[in-house]
């Protein structure tokens, strides 16, 4: 919530759960995520498979998923401080992802993956302490697991079984790391007076 909110916007928030500002924040963060994701896919694929020689699919999802995908949904909650904002932002990203695709995964399965991550975000954000870190870590893990499952069932490309726990741990670490990045961003926004609530129990 922005400091100095006008009376008109305050009345609108009483009528609707999400204000116009909330929707703009969620849509903007979703748009930023889509641009970053689409523009970096070739680089991530080359880094994961060409440079590091990691097997696929799912290496990029696990190792960089905290930044490329989940960070933006969790940040939406941090800015709006409203339950459901992470899920709505994930749905926005998923709808666009249907058309832009996510690497080799395209169409409706992309929305399923974002929806699963968004739901897990919301569950993680219910935790009173460490919620940004926990929500991010769990969301990246679930998004990775859903991604490799969809890649297998839809595209017939299965990740080598022995790599699943390794990438799963990497995903948890990636999510937790960018959960901490979100805390830093939110505290900076608070000091700038752009969000009202202080992150006391992130």
Domain around 160: 21-191
pTM of the model: 0.85
Number of domains in the chain: 1
pLDDT digits (tens, 9 = 90+) for 94-103: 998 888 877 6
Residue 199: predicted pLDDT:
59
Within a domain: residue 98? Answer: yes
Within a domain: residue 69? Answer: yes
Within a domain: residue 196? Answer: no
Within a domain: residue 62? Answer: yes
Give yes or no for residue 196 having a pLDDT over 80. no
Residue 163: predicted pLDDT:
95
**123-129: long-range pairs with CB below 8 Å, 24+:** 125/74, 125/77, 125/83, 125/86, 128/201, 129/201
Residue 38: predicted pLDDT:
84
pLDDT digits (tens, 9 = 90+) for 144-174: 999 999 999 988 889 999 999 999 999 999 9
Residue 7: predicted pLDDT:
55
Within a domain: residue 3? Answer: no
Residues β-bridged to residue 94: none
Share of the chain above pLDDT 70, in %: 88
Within a domain: residue 201? Answer: no
Within a domain: residue 170? Answer: yes
**DSSP string across the chain:** --TT--HHHHHHHHH-SS-HHHHHHHHHHHHHHHHHHHHHHHHHHIIIIIIS---SSSHHHHHHHIIIIIHHHHHHHHHH--TTHHHHHHHHHHHHHHHH-BTTB-SHHHHHHHHHHHHHHHHHTTSSSSHHHHHHHHHHHHHHHHHHHHHHHHH-----GGGHHHHHHHHHHHHHHHHHHHHHHHHHHHHTTS--S--S--
Give the separation between CA 187 and CA 184, rounded to whole angstroms: 5
Angle between helices 71-80 and 20-45 (to 10 degrees): 160
Residue 144: predicted pLDDT:
95
Within a domain: residue 78? Answer: yes
Domain with residue 94: its CATH number is: 1.10.1760
């Amino acid at each position: 919530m922005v400091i100095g909110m006008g009376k008109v916007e305050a009345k609108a928030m009483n009528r609707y759960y999400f204000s116009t500002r909330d929707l703009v924040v969620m849509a903007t963060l979703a748009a930023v995520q889509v641009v970053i994701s689409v523009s970096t896919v070739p680089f991530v694929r080359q880094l994961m498979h060409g440079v590091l020689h990691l097997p696929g699919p799912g290496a990029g999802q696990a190792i960089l998923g905290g930044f490329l995908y989940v960070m933006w949904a969790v940040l939406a909650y941090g800015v709006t401080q409203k339950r459901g904002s992470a899920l709505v932002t994930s749905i926005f990203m998923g709808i666009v992802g249907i058309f832009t695709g996510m690497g080799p995964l395209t169409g409706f399965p992309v929305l399923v993956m974002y929806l699963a991550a968004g739901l897990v975000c919301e569950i993680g954000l219910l935790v009173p302490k460490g919620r940004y870190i926990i929500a991010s870590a769990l969301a990246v893990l679930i998004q990775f697991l859903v991604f490799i499952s969809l890649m297998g069932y839809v595209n017939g490309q299965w990740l080598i079984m022995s790599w699943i726990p390794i990438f799963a741990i990497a995903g948890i670490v990636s999510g937790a790391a960018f959960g901490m990045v979100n805390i830093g961003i939110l505290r900076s926004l608070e000091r700038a007076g752009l969000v009202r609530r202080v992150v006391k129990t992130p």
